[in-house]
Structure 1
Amino acid sequence: MSRWSARGHLVGGYGLPVLALLLFLAFSLALPDTFPTRDNVSAILSNQAIPALLALGATVPIATGRFDLSLGYGLGLAHVVVLLLIVDTATPWPLACLAVIAGGGLAGAVNGFIVEFARIDSFIATLGTGSIMYALTGWLTGGGRIMPGPQGLPSSFTALYDAEFLGLPLPAFYVLAATAVLWVVLERLPFGRYLYVIGSNSRAAAVLGIPTRRYSVAAFATSGLFTGGCGVLLAAQQQIGNPSVGLDYLLPAFVGALLGSTTVTPGRANAPGTLVAVAVLAVGLAGIGQLGADFWATPLFNGATLLVAVGLAGYAARRRLRVRPTADGPSSPADGPPRPPVHQPPAHP
């Protein structure tokens, strides 16, 4: 590897974590009394836990080259159903949470079946199912909010979001645990490597004998499980059911997942990269908010970052293809799963 290639790899792999640190230092210097405080850090970790988990869920289908646009709609439906089960039917909250998480996985599997077996583009398919979820949310709530009774929600349920562990918000540990598990699954287990092969070249994956449809459906189901879990946390945080709140989380989730594919392992979706990207967004949004920016600054920041993320993700993917060794040559672990060997026809004498 040349000196310039090595420098480019370092910038691509570690530039975003350095940017997160620089942003934190810049806002700490600009707001020394409020930004570099324990309360502010705890607030950032707590407020960004749900977007981080949703972004991790979006990462899995992106690894296969698919996109799940139903995440925000599913989040809204999941948190409403949790509250309906607890408030209206007096279902024990652990059972209600398990039911919603399982339902999220089922909804994700339905998305996968529509994409893979009906042969509908993932953008269109998941946008359609998301609209159906949004309609179902409106039907269940009648367009209004779900309010708990005078006794409120069980304290053990709200503690899922409000509790602390080792002096930090408990949701932050959910994010760290989910990132670690997803890293192991994607980087160290055959399941994740198959997803990357499918995302790189689905036809080659089929030639290798990988059941591409089955793994793609599993990727969408995993995304649905994350969405259901985020719905549970959102219900514990909000403690009321708002049928439209989930849409606010869709754009940050995709920004985090796409921007994360440009770092740590540039050129492909990966869990640590998603976590770093969410950290950049969290620090940036917190700093902008404390500087007194207008309400439109947040969607402007998210939209501009999404455009940058898509551009950088495409550049990283193209660069990775340019520097990838030939199919018959050696490859390094950083290059991801090997492609199938290319057999040239014998030359005629």
Structure 2
Amino acid sequence: MTTSSSPRSRLKRSSGPGGSAAHFIGAYGLVALAALLVLVFSIALPHTFPTPDNLSATLSNHSIPAVLALGAMVPIVTGKFDLSIGFGLGLAHVMVMQLVVNEGWTWPLVCLAVILGGTVVGALNGVIVEFARIDSFIATLGTGSIMLAFTGWITNGGRIVPPPQGLPAAFTDIYGTKVFDLPLPAFYVLALAAALWLLLERLPLGRHMYVIGSNPRAADLVGIPTHRYSIYAFAGSGLIFGFAGVLLAAQQQIGNPSVGIDYLLPAFVGALLGSTAIKPGRPNALGTVVAVAVLAIGLTGIGQLGAQFWVVPLFNGGTLLIAVGLAGYSARRRLRTGIVADRGSTGTPPTAVPEGGNGTPGNAP
């Protein structure tokens, strides 16, 4: 006598302990890597790495890259890329210094104006991408170059130096203050990540943005205003790089027209690598924070081991390639899992959902 099993029972067997273990490793492998790096560097550098001072310095030095990585992540959710964030960061921090030092504005008003200005610039990026129908890579690279030109025009190619008495202490304290012996910027990162997690995972706006990133055509068919939500995503990116510019000005306390571009690559490394963690195959805020933590631990450790200056761009570039590869693999694995689940529940072949627009990993919720 022969026995047959239903598609649902086959699905249950395929998603047994082995499947659960694979999912756990995929979701939390990056967290485990962070813990492993801490252990390795603590053993190799017992007098410098596992110390409170090193923890504080690492959190302080990598808070702005973490904020910018979260900003880069938002358009990626909709299948777009904002290459202007590094240039926008440079322009924002120069504008803060210009308005405070040379124009005499009060620093709270300057912070508000720069953050709102970043939001407007981000929205303009979205309008150009959506209505001029220019690929997001090209459009934001072009607008970023324009921002770099404005930065050079404002500074005349030089630096903006504060007066001898320095910047207002209340302004510099927004970066230099410590809370529970930890730098205040680390708490900005956690608050921003929590806000983005709530927006993307729990509110309809975020869920619609994920649908747009996974399949824009399907989003149009079900009535989601794809153009509007994509503009929202770019506006969010602009708001975040405006905020990061304020923090950078408070940290450096000098206007440097060439500093912003240095943050572009680490931001995208963190955003793309983060899409392989916590919820593999889709960009997410918590995964981005974990990815930035891995990068921070790695860069701090190799720096204390005496690595040459060229190791940092090598590390960032290599990690970016690995991140893109892993993100693509996670997206394909997520798609295959969805197809198997659909077959198991309906017994009919599903309609495959293509990967995200502009070549990004699929990120359906």
1:139 matched to 2:157: no
- The equivalent position to 2:96 in structure 1, one of 61, 82, 88, is 82
- The equivalent position to 1:263 in structure 2, one of 260, 268, 277, is 277
1:17 matched to 2:31: yes
- AA partner of residue 283 (structure 1): I
Q: Distance in 1 between matches of 2:258 and 2:165?
A: 25
- The equivalent position to 2:308 in structure 1, one of 286, 294, 301, is 294
Aligned to 1:326: 342
1:162 matched to 2:191: no
Aligned to 2:317: 303
Q: Distance in 2 between matches of 1:47 and 1:160?
A: 14
CA contact (8 A) 2:273 2:323 kept: yes
| Pair 329,195 (structure 1): closer, same or farther in 2 beyond 3 Å | farther
- The equivalent position to 1:39 in structure 2, one of 50, 53, 68, is 53
Q: Superposed, which structure 2 residues align to 1:1-349 within 5 Å?
A: 1-324=15-338, 325-326=341-342, 329=345
Q: Which 5+ residue runs of structure 2 have no aligned equivalent?
A: 1-14, 347-361
> Could you give the per-residue CA deviations for residues 2-57 of structure 1, whole angstroms, max 9, x where no partner exists?
33322221111000000001001100000000000000000010000000000001
- Tell me how far 1:150 sits from its aligned partner: 1.2
Q: Distance in 1 between matches of 2:345 and 2:95?
A: 53
Alignment size in residue pairs: 335
SS in 1 for 2:342: coil
- AA partner of residue 101 (structure 2): V
- AA partner of residue 166 (structure 1): F
| Pair 327,115 (structure 1): closer, same or farther in 2 beyond 3 Å | farther
Q: Distance in 1 between matches of 2:112 and 2:343?
A: 45
CA contact (8 A) 2:93 2:246 kept: yes
Q: Could you tell me the percent identity over the aligned residues?
A: 68
- AA partner of residue 29 (structure 1): I
Q: Which 5+ residue runs of structure 1 have no aligned equivalent?
A: 339-349
| Pair 329,114 (structure 1): closer, same or farther in 2 beyond 3 Å | farther
CA contact (8 A) 2:174 2:247 kept: yes
Q: Distance in 1 between matches of 2:243 and 2:37?
A: 30
- AA partner of residue 47 (structure 2): D
- Give TM-score scaled by structure 1 length: 0.94
- AA partner of residue 211 (structure 1): P
Q: Distance in 1 between matches of 2:235 and 2:22?
A: 35
Q: Distance in 2 between matches of 1:262 and 1:234?
A: 28
Q: Distance in 2 between matches of 1:11 and 1:116?
A: 37
Q: Distance in 1 between matches of 2:345 and 2:238?
A: 38
Root-mean-square deviation over aligned CA pairs: 1.5
